[in-house]
Amino acid sequence: MPTPILSVSDLTVSFRTRKGTAEAVRGLSYDLMPGETLAIVGESGSGKSVSALALMGLLPTTATVDGTATFDGNDLFTMKKEQRRKIRGGPMAMIFQDPMTAFNPVHTIGDQLSEAIRIHQPDVSKGDALAEVEHLLRQVGVPEPGRRVHQYPHEFSGGMRQRAMIAMAIANKPVVLLADEPTTALDVTIQAQVMEVLAEAQEATGSAMILITHDLGLVAGTADRVIVMYGGRSFEECATRDVFYESRNPYTRGLLQSIPRLTDERGAALSPIPGSPPSIVSMPKGCAFAPRCVHRTAVCEETSADWEQIDIGHWTRCHHHDELPSFDPRDEVDA
Amino acid sequence: MTAEQPLVRVTDLKTHFPIRAGLLRRQVGTVYAVDGVSFSIDEYQTLGVVGESGCGKTTLGRSILRLEQPTSGSVLFDGVEITTMPVGDLRRKRSDMQFVFQDPYASLNSRWPVNDIVGEPLRVHGVSKAETKSRVGELLKAVGLLPEHGNRYPHEFSGGQRQRIGIARALALRPRLIILDEPVSALDVSVQAQVINLLEQLQDEFGLTYMFIAHDLSVVHHISDRIMVMYLGHVMESAEATDVYSAPAHPYTHALLSAAPVADPDIEATRRRIVLEGDLPSPAAPPSGCPFRTRCPLATEKCAAEVPELTEITPGHVVACHYPLEPGQRLVDVAAAAAHR
């Protein structure tokens, strides 16, 4: 059994608000293996992005982080600030959803990428760093990198900016890449390009990736394993195939059933989950999904279920996971 | 059913925007947002319009209701010309044609209670206070909200509920046509399906005609009778929804279908994705000839020289391409064969 590169245990993130404390992430635990792609899937307010920002140390000061995140033998949350800075953007790098706000508009792409290199490798000269930036931009498919390094972020299209961000993230050969909705702001044909670049970059550096997304389609094509989050908690964790064909969680199943598919019969009604995701300031008392769940009973409204292993590598959080009917969304004609 | 005239008939519609610069705001260029679009929508049908950002789908929707003034061309609504209609007549006509916006957070006045938001179109069109009140209650019920929700403000609702409020407002004047601009793209996946089901149910209940604008092919495919694929202000292909999916003829339609990820690992593992080269050109400087040729794997010199006409290849299936694909052909294979030659 290889050792995980990143081990998150009982991660809890809470925010102080005027209405009291709101818990955005509640006891999240997972292991990330070297080189693998782990997808964290959830809707708005599920805590998926906050959990990633906590790992990177990028949360505002109103946030309190508890739990441990062991990276390369050290706990990210207790280490010295200086040590953390060396990890951030170096061995652990993040790709953000909106590359327009992630870049500084008053510096050229070349300056920003070469600065990222020189922060982590101070003995590299400015000239060598810029040459490395050109090489990186070429690697992620930015045409004419020699000219492009002197341009500002606004001169790049959305797809090109996202490529530049990937170039910046892989500049210091990371071992963990965190990609937070990396293609959500992009058109579908550009999304296909960027996902390809991301896969190539991952292959070239051999890094593991945490892919945070709401799009189960993206997960199906890229991830090795999946964690489904809801209301700040992990609801299911398993291999990618199992989440689609062997799910043992009512929320995961509900999500799969609500996606319109190109193979659907025209005119067949979709099967949505009733209601809307809970807000973190008014979380239900028991299971966060109980108010929307067709399988709920009295116990669901009282207590949240435990995080239970039901098969090798397959975890779920549901009081009724062993009573759920068999389920394969490929059989669904109209439910 | 074809003998009747369509509810909407659009002919060679163009909406161009001037680009102005300098002290004298002289025109230095033109954005060809919609550039010669023709189509029709039959009553009680749904036309889905798909395309990427900058393809002109939103401008097209707005031009039909004259929320943007078209540059040229014709929009016939129930046989009446809209583009040249005097403003007073247009205002009355608008009760038949409504618009639902993408962003349920930005399109509702945050200082008004829901009753006023939904009732405003009725008030503007001179409906009495008492009748407005009862109609608003009915409308809220029709979209799955409770009458007592009417006293609350938009911020008290979730995104999906807000979109329901926007739909209730659009329904207030009993329109015949509703143009929906990305009505579900700002919503969570589990909530999207609720709104799609609601739209389908309301269509049956009120006999509505929809123009459904979106970038997500699977959503459009689900709700539409016909689908029109746009690129850079032009129609690339238009057909019955099932034909667009099962027998696409335009290389761009193929590329769109292939780029959209499918939530099924077995399908994802076996299919071959066509990754288009390059970015979308700017609608202010469109390429010569076919607008798609700069990214098309099949493009030849002919494509740069001649704009392909929208041609009917089978009944009801039109495509604007010099080299349309046959049913069953895959773009990857055809592109490989073309490269070999």
pLDDT of A159 reads: 87
Same domain flag for A310 and A192 = no
Please report whether residue A88 resides in a domain: yes
Q: Which domain holds residue A36?
A: 6-223
Same domain flag for A211 and A104 = yes
- Note the pTM of the prediction, 2 decimals: 0.89
The CA distance from A89 to the nearest CA of chain B, in Å, is 28
- The dihedral sign for the CA sequence A289, A216, B219, A183: positive
Q: What percent of chain B has pLDDT over 70?
A: 99
Please report whether residue A191 resides in a domain: yes
Q: Is A73 on the interface with B (CB under 8 A)?
A: no
Query: Cβ(B47)–Cβ(B224) under 8 Å?
Result: yes
A285: left (phi over 0), alpha (psi -120 to 50) or beta: alpha
pLDDT of B318 reads: 97
Which of A163, A197, A223 is at the close of a domain? A223
Residues in B touching A270 (Cβ below 8 Å): 193, 196-197, 222
Q: Over range A35-58, report the average pLDDT.
A: 94
pLDDT of A332 reads: 52
Same domain flag for A165 and A286 = no
Query: Cβ(A262)–Cβ(B245) under 8 Å?
Result: yes
Q: Which residue of B has its CA nearest to A161?
A: B279
Indicate the length of chain A as a whole number. 335
Please report whether residue A25 resides in a domain: yes
pLDDT of B35 reads: 95
Q: What percent of chain A has pLDDT over 70?
A: 97
B209-214, strands of its sheet edge to edge: B97-100, B177-181, B209-214, B46-50, B226-231, B234-240, B317-319, B311-314
pLDDT digits (tens, 9 = 90+) for A76-131: 999 999 999 999 999 999 999 877 788 999 999 999 999 999 999 999 999 999 99
Same domain flag for A218 and A238 = no
What is the CATH number for A82?
Answer: 3.40.50.300
Same domain flag for A116 and A238 = no
pLDDT of B321 reads: 97
Same domain flag for A194 and A245 = no
pLDDT of B102 reads: 84
Computed over every residue of chain B, the mean pLDDT equals 92
Strand partners, A314: A311
Same domain flag for A60 and A206 = yes
pLDDT of B1 reads: 45
Q: Which of A64-73, B3-12, B19-28 has the highest mean pLDDT?
A: A64-73
Residues in A touching B202 (Cβ below 8 Å): none
- Which of A189, A258, A264 lies closest to B189 in CB terms? A258
Interface pTM, i.e. ipTM: 0.85
- Using the structure block, give the residue that is written with the tokens 């293609």: A183
Say whether B265 and A241 touch across the interface (CB within 8 A): yes
pLDDT digits (tens, 9 = 90+) for A131-147: 999 999 998 988 889 99
Label residue A56 by pLDDT band (50, 70, 90).
very high
Please report whether residue A1 resides in a domain: no
Q: Over range B270-276, report the average pLDDT.
A: 82
Same domain flag for A237 and A135 = no
pLDDT of A109 reads: 95
Q: Over range B190-212, report the average pLDDT.
A: 94
pLDDT of A335 reads: 37
Same domain flag for A211 and A245 = no
Query: Is the pLDDT confidence value at A328 over 90?
Result: no
Tally the domains of chain A: 2
Say whether A262 and B267 touch across the interface (CB within 8 A): no
Same domain flag for A205 and A303 = no
Please report whether residue A326 resides in a domain: no
Query: Is the pLDDT confidence value at A333 over 70?
Result: no
